[in-house]
Amino acid sequence: MDKDYVCEDWGSETEWTQLKVTVKLEQLDETVAVMNMVSNYLQIEDYSDIDLKTCYGDLIDESILNADKTRASVFVYLPAEGGFADTIVFLKERFSTLGIDAEISVSGVSEEDWANSWKAYYKPIKIGERIVVVPAWEKYDAKDGELIVRMDPGMAFGTGSHETTRLVISLLEKYIKGGERVLDVGCGSGILAICAAKLGAAECRAYDIDPVAVKVAKENIKDSGLEATVSCEVSDLLRQVDKTSGAYNVICANIVADIIIRMTPDIGAYMDESSVILASGIIVERSSDVIECFEDHGLRVVERAEENGWCALAVMKK
């Protein structure tokens, strides 16, 4: 067994796999950003803000009172039949790049326990002025001008509920006018490419280093009826992206600060003078590092958006 994670067998009836990542508390924000590339449906266990002066200690479970307040855990749930080995390889690569010392454990949960608990909280989400992300089982009557993106949280990847994704979708509404070529690097579920196509982009190419992400993104694209417009393939950032097909009008990178910095020296080859990069997944505290890197490579920030400690940037050539 791989020493970097622990697997618990919950029996033959298990239908979902739970991945639990435990890190130092100060690394929680970046860990959440990485885990959102696997799923937007996260459970976060952080007891650092429990204050016995403002709550009744005798009503709090003893295990919570005695928990290590210097560490936090993030949980995601994946379909058991899809396996989890590729996802763990992906997480280890991202955590290694960011210098995050993460403890990964794996266990099983029943489909009923997992799916029903999420259905109770997952409702239609209005993002920006036009996009509405709707659960597959929910009835929703679109209002004038709204574009519906239907997603299923039973899949392995998310549906736009996190701030980083919402920020990019709101920017996409501004920069997609119709007929654009769009590149989505680190696409996760493919939701950004799907939204870009819904907004009128003519061609969307999505890439992710994780084969599991690509598999799920392709399923989402097919279910959205957008196979003629949106494609998805495996690539380590820009390494496998074709440079000969011409510049992209819009480039999405909803990743994390350090990975955006790593990608920046190569991004100009995919741009022309009117191209825009929509970069997100950046905690506000790291935004100055990302901006400095962009500027060092002939790029300038033309728009900035923030939500709950997360930052997204619209960037063009100087």
pLDDT digit string (tens) for the chain, length 318 residues:
333 444 444 444 446 778 899 999 999 989 988 887 777 668 888 777 555 444 433 444 555 555 678 898 999 887 766 656 667 777 887 888 888 999 988 877 555 555 555 565 567 888 888 999 887 777 888 888 899 887 764 443 455 667 888 899 999 999 999 999 999 999 888 889 999 999 999 999 999 988 877 888 898 898 889 999 999 999 989 999 988 889 999 999 998 888 899 999 999 999 999 999 999 989 888 999 999 999 999 999 999 999 888 899 999 999
Residue 252, CB-side half-sphere exposure with 13 Å CA sphere: 35
What is the rounded CA–CA span in Å between residue 82 and residue 84?
A: 7
Residues in Cβ contact with 69 at an 8 Å cutoff, skipping those fewer than 6 apart: 25, 47, 48, 50
Q: What are phi and psi of 161, to 5 degrees?
A: -80, -15
Query: How many whole angstroms separate alpha carbon 214 and alpha carbon 16?
Result: 19
Sign of the torsion angle spanned by Cα atoms 247, 268, 212, 180: negative
Please report the pLDDT score of residue 96 as a whole number: 83
Q: What's the confidence (pLDDT) of residue 125?
A: 84
> What pLDDT shows up at residue 161?
67
Residue with tokens 């991945």: 19
Distance CA 290, CA 94 (A): 17
Q: Report yes or no: 233 and 214 within 8 Å, Cβ to Cβ.
A: yes
**CA–CA separation, 227 and 220 (whole Å):** 10
Rg (CA), the chain: 20
The C-alpha atoms of residue 131 and residue 105 are separated, in whole angstroms, by 36
Q: Got the DSSP string for 202-267?
A: SEEEEEES-HHHHHHHHHHHHHTT-TTTEEEEE-STTTTS-STT---SEEEEES-HHHHHHHHHHH
Edge-to-edge strands of the sheet including 5-7?
Answer: 5-7, 103-109, 16-24, 71-79, 43-45
pLDDT of residue 110: 57
Q: Are 172 and 196 in contact (CB under 8 A)?
A: yes
Domain ranges of the chain: 5-118, 174-317
The overall longest dimension of the chain from CA atoms, in Å, is 66
Strands 230-234 and 203-208: parallel
Nearest to 253 by CA among 184, 195, 191: 184
Q: 174-317: what fold?
A: Rossmann fold (3.40.50)
Tell me what pLDDT residue 256 has: 84
Q: What is the distance between the alpha carbons of residues 171 and 167, in angstroms, rounded to a whole number?
A: 6
At the top level of CATH, the class of 5-118 is alpha beta
